[in-house]
C-alpha cells in the first residue's frame, strides 16, 4: 500500500518525506486555506519535496472552467494530479485531462457506482471518503471492499483506490487488508501508526537493563 499524506503544511511534509514513508500528497482548498499562502506557490513547493503524485484540486464546478484550471495546474510540475469532484462536469473534465496523459484524482466518492464512472473516465485515482460515511452510520470500509472487488473484475480499469477521510490507524490496516492501492493520511494518523504501548514498555526495559551494565557502545 502506498501512503499519501493529507496536508498542505510544507514543513510537515518535508519532515515526513524524510522518513521515506510518503509516496505522495493530497491537498484540498480547505487545507491550503489553513496554510494562509498562495495556492500555486504551495503546490509547487510540495511537488519539489515528494517525487510521487501531488493532488491539487480545482475550485470551479463547471466543465469549461475546471478544464482550464486543470491545464494550468499540470504546468506546475510533472507530478501534479488534478483533483476533480465526482460530478458530471468533474468526470467530463477527468476524461479530457486523462486523455491528454495527465493524472487525475476523482474525489468525494461515496458509492460503488460513482467509482465505476471514475474508472471509465480514465481517473488515475478515485478517492472514497470512508470517515465521512462512518459519520452518518454507513459502512466506509464496506465501500472500499466493493470498489476493490469491482475493479478486480475488470483488468482494463487502471484506476487506483485511494482511501481518504481516514480517521485512525485501523482504517489504514483494514483498507490494506482489502487491497486498497493508496491511503492518504493526516499526519496525526501516520504518527499513530508508530505507537504501541508494548513497544514503549519493551524499549524502557531494554534501556534499563543496558544502563545496569555501565557500558557505552560509542566508547567501546
In angstroms, rounded to a whole number, what is the distance separating the alpha carbons of residues 220 and 141? 52
pLDDT of res. 191: 93
pLDDT tens-digit map of 6-17 = 999 999 999 999
Q: Please tell me the predicted confidence (pLDDT) of residue 37.
A: 87
In the chain, the N- to C-terminal Cα span, in Å, equals: 41
Per-residue cell: 19: 522518513
Separation CA 162–CA 111 (nearest Å):
14
Domain ranges of the chain: 2-213
pTM, two decimals, is: 0.94
Dump pLDDT digits (tens) for 181-212: 999 999 999 999 999 999 999 999 999 999 99
78-107 residue pLDDT tens: 999 999 999 999 999 999 999 999 999 999
| pLDDT of amino acid 33 | 85
Per CATH, is 2-213 categorized as 3.30.2000.10?
no
Three-state SS annotation for 110-170? CCHHHHHHHHHCCCCEEEEEHHHHHHCCCCHHHHHHHHHHHHHHCCCCCCEEEEECCCCHH
Tens of pLDDT, residues 127-176: 999 999 999 999 999 999 999 999 999 999 999 999 999 999 999 999 99
Longest dimension (CA), the chain: 71
Q: What is the pLDDT of residue 48?
A: 95
Cα separation values, 18 from 7, 12, 13, 15, 23, Å: 16, 10, 9, 5, 11
Model pLDDT, residue 215: 94
The pLDDT value recorded for residue 197 is 95
* Res. 36: pLDDT tops 90: no
Distance CA 168, CA 121 (A): 31
Give Cβ neighbours of residue 71 (< 8 Å, ≥ 6 apart).
97
The pLDDT score that the predictor gives to residue 35 is 83
Helices (H), the chain: 10-17, 29-35, 39-49, 63-73, 88-99, 112-120, 130-135, 140-153, 169-178, 187-192, 197-213
Q: Which residues are catalytic?
A: 83
Residues 186 and 164 sit within 8 Å (Cβ to Cβ): no
Does residue 220 carry a pLDDT above 80? no
* DSSP assigned state of 102: -
**pLDDT above 90 for 30:** no
Amino acid at each position: 500500500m502506498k501512503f499519501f499524506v493529507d496536508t498542505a503544511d510544507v514543513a510537515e511534509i518535508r519532515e515526513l518525506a524524510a522518513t521515506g514513508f510518503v509516496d505522495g500528497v493530497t491537498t484540498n482548498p480547505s487545507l491550503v486555506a489553513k496554510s494562509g499562502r498562495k495556492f500555486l506557490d504551495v503546490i509547487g513547493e510540495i511537488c519539489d519535496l515528494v517525487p510521487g503524485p501531488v493532488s491539487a484540486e480545482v475550485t470551479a464546478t463547471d466543465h469549461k472552467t475546471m478544464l482550464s484550471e486543470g491545464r494550468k495546474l499540470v504546468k506546475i510540475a510533472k507530478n501534479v494530479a488534478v483533483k476533480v469532484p465526482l460530478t458530471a462536469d468533474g468526470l467530463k473534465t477527468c476524461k479530457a485531462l486523462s486523455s491528454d496523459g495527465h493524472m487525475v484524482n476523482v474525489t468525494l466518492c461515496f458509492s460503488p457506482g460513482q467509482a465505476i464512472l471514475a474508472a471509465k473516465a480514465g481517473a488515475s485515482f478515485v478517492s472514497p471518503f470512508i470517515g465521512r460515511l462512518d459519520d452518518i452510520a454507513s459502512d466506509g470500509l464496506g465501500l472500499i471492499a466493493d470498489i476493490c472487488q469491482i475493479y478486480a473484475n475488470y483488468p482494463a480499469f487502471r484506476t487506483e483506490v485511494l482511501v481518504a477521510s481516514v480517521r485512525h490507524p485501523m482504517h489504514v490496516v483494514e483498507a490494506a487488508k482489502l487491497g486498497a492501492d493508496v491511503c492518504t493520511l493526516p499526519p496525526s494518523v501516520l504518527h499513530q501508526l508508530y505507537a504501541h504501548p508494548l513497544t514503549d514498555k519493551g524499549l524502557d526495559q531494554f534501556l534499563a537493563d543496558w544502563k545496569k551494565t555501565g557500558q557505552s557502545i560509542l566508547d567501546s
